[in-house]
Amino acid sequence: MGVVAMEAQALGTPVIGFDAGPMREVIAPGESGLVVPPGDVRALREAMQRVMEDDDLADRLGASGPKVVAARFDLQRNTAAVEDVYEDVMARVRQP
């Protein structure tokens, strides 16, 4: 899980990361941060430079971060979803 990226977004910091693993779940590309192809260091540098030079982009990404985190990682909703999975599994186990 990209906890650092999640926490940064929750605090209104634009996040830039590789489009791999947990970053796909944590970053909303173009909304709360930017993603670049995995291992593409040049693209990473360019994305960082873009955010540092474009105050409007940085402000927009930063302002969206807390909303994205709240929507995607709501404890009650995520807990309910996990409980639904467990209930589904248990119902299948109980069937003859």
User: Domain residues of the chain, as ranges?
Assistant: 3-94
Q: Which of 14, 2, 1, 5 is nearest to 64 (CA)?
A: 14
What's the pLDDT at 78? 81
Crossing angle of helices 3-10 and 55-72, in 10° steps, is 110
Q: What is the pTM of this model?
A: 0.76
82, burial (CB in 10 Å: exposed 0-12, middle 13-18, buried 19+): exposed
Contacts of 2 by beta carbon, 8 Å cutoff, 6+ apart? 17, 21, 22, 23, 25, 26, 27
Strand, helix or coil at 34? strand
Q: Could you read off the pLDDT tens digit of each residue along the chain, which spans 96 residues? A: 789 999 999 999 999 999 998 898 899 999 999 999 999 999 999 999 999 999 999 999 999 999 999 998 888 888 888 899 999 999 888 876
The CATH number of domain 3-94, selected from 3.40.50.300, 3.40.50.2000, 3.90.180.10, 3.40.50.970: 3.40.50.2000
Which residues lie across from 34 on neighbouring strands?
Answer: 16
